[in-house]
Amino acid sequence: MKIRVVSSREEIPHLNPNEKVIHLAFRPSNKDIFSLVQTCPKVEVIQIPSSYRRTVSKSIEMFMAMQDIKLVEGDVWGHRKDINEYYSIAPALLDKIKELKSEGMSDENIVNKLEREGKLNREMLFYILSKK
């Protein structure tokens, strides 16, 4: 699974329209979110750093809820955009999720366990679990 990292609003018009998970590494305005949803109509998750999360307006939260887009807090730790525009979630993490699911562990317990071990936050882990 890959997360498309967007470093500036100037990148939004050039994104692939099929992007589903996007990390915004800048403080997005309402216009940026609208533009992103127009450019990438299949987007399911927009991740922003927790320091920017508090600045997202209620109207954008409502718009995203109406579009069935999840807004999650989080970072892509250690990612270098100059090397790759995507942050890849380790296949080992996805295998671990499958293994824990097959053992009958609940989603909540899986998230609690992997949140401590991995670099992903709760909301992103719940999204990944919903896709498996």
Q: What is the pLDDT of residue 43?
A: 96
- How far apart CA 104 and CA 124 sit, in angstroms, is 20
Q: What is the pLDDT of residue 14?
A: 94
CA atoms within 13 A on the CB side of 77: 8
Residue 103 amino acid letter = E
User: How confident is the model over 71-107, as pLDDT tens digits?
Assistant: 998 877 655 666 678 888 888 888 988 998 899 889 9
In Å, how far from its chain's centre is CA 72?
6
Residues in the chain, pLDDT under 50: none
Q: How far is CA 20 from CA 17, 56, 58, 112, in A?
A: 9, 20, 22, 25
CB 44 within 8 A of CB 19: no
pTM as predicted: 0.84
